Amino acid sequence: MSNKLSAWEKVEIARSPKRKTALDYIEKIFDEFIELHGDRNFKDDKAIVCGLGTIGKKNYTIIAEQKGRTTKENIERNFGMPNPESYRKGIRFMKQSEKFKRPIITFIDTKGAYPGIGAEERGQGEAIASSMLEMAKVKVPVIAIVIGEGSSGGALALGLGNKVLMLENAIYSILSPEGYASILWKDASRAKEAAEKMKLTAQDLYDLKIIDKIIKEPKEVTDEEFEKITSKIKREIKTIISEMQNMTPEEIVEDRYQKFRNMGEYIVIK
């Protein structure tokens, strides 16, 4: 059973090139999806996909980190590592969602933001911080879903949801196990040991009240199992949005603030 897997085994599953990507989830969960492009400043970075989706008669804004499977796809998607223009594209659609009162759904799946010189020159750190700031204050419901490898600021940039859901075999942390081991022990080869200490599994994060719900999944996801998983996520989205539909914009922002404010207090006390 998947709940008996070690933290490192879950890291390997989350990183598997066979794992379903954000676009796979979008295709199954939403009845319709239209992709929108560009940050209106530099270019359209394909490591993050943005667009409009529907479930029934309800419209949503979707912001999703997208990996590739083949070498060609990974080059096109920058191996799922967003450049600053990806986050600025996301910010553009967060603001648009507020204007048109559309809930925001984010899909988190990245090894981290792209660390290249060009990305740094174009303000990678500022773009990540601005994404988090915009998510914190946007006046519509936000649901963040960790579907694979959620590592570093590249993942946290899309993680400030009123509700945060996570697949059972996904991971979510402030950096990779290799990075943790390199900083703590100056030895990246101790990544397996680091993974056990980092509390990066869904169960760890649920116990710490960082995420709100775990979406169960088997170790190997067949097409039939994937249908079940996406049906669960779709049901959760509809339930959460229904529960929040009578909240005022100010109450939605306050709910999000209190979630992360209380989470910080819980971790310190623990």
For residue 202, the one-letter residue type is A
Confidence grade of residue 264 (pLDDT, cut at 50, 70, 90): low
Neighbours of 69 (CB within 10 A): 13
Give CA–CA dist 141/252, Å, rounded: 6
CA 24 centroid distance within chain: 14
Tens of pLDDT, residue by residue over 75-131, are 999 999 999 999 999 999 999 999 999 999 999 999 999 999 999 999 999 999 999
For residue 158, the one-letter residue type is L
Give CA–CA dist 106/208, Å, rounded: 21
Give CA–CA dist 208/139, Å, rounded: 26
Dihedral angle sign, alpha carbons of residues 130, 243, 63, 216: positive
Pick the CATH number of 2-269 from 3.90.245.10, 3.90.226.10, 3.50.30.10, 3.10.20.30: 3.90.226.10
Tens of pLDDT, residue by residue over 199-258, are 999 999 999 999 999 999 998 899 999 999 999 999 999 999 999 999 999 999 999 999
User: In this structure, are strands 48-55 and 104-110 parallel, antiparallel, or unpaired?
Assistant: unpaired
Q: What is the mean pLDDT of the chain?
A: 93
Domain residue ranges of the chain, discontinuous segments joined by +: 2-269
CB-based burial label for 9 (10 Å; 0-12, 13-18, 19+): middle
